[in-house]
Amino acid sequence: MSETTIFRKIIDREIPADIVYEDDLCLAFNDINPQSPTHVLLIPKKEIPTVNELVEEDQTLMGHLLLVAGKLAGQLGLDGGYRLVINCGRDGGQEVDHIHIHILGGRGMSWPPG
Which residue numbers are catalytic?
100
Distance (Å, whole) CA 78 – CA 60: 25
Q: How far apart are CB 94 and ligand 5GP at their closest, in Å? A: 4
- Asked if residue 87 binds ligand 5GP (CB under 6 A), the reply is yes
Hey, how many other C-beta atoms are within 10 angstroms of the C-beta on 56? 6
Q: Considering only the stretches 24-32, 56-64, 76-84, 105-113, report the one whose residues sit in contact with ligand 5GP under the rule CB under 6 A.
A: 24-32
- Asked if residue 94 binds ligand 5GP (CB under 6 A), the reply is yes
Cβ contacts of 40 within 8 Å, gap of 6 or more: 20, 28, 29, 30, 31, 72, 76, 102, 103
- Asked if residue 52 binds ligand 5GP (CB under 6 A), the reply is no
- Asked if residue 17 binds ligand 5GP (CB under 6 A), the reply is yes
The runs of H, that is alpha helices, within 12-88 are 59-75
Q: Considering only the stretches 23-31, 50-58, 61-69, 70-78, report the one whose residues sit in contact with ligand 5GP under the rule CB under 6 A.
A: 23-31
Rounded to a whole number of angstroms, the CA Rg of the chain reads 14
Footprint of ligand 5GP on this chain (CB under 6 A)? 6, 17, 29-33, 41, 87, 93-96
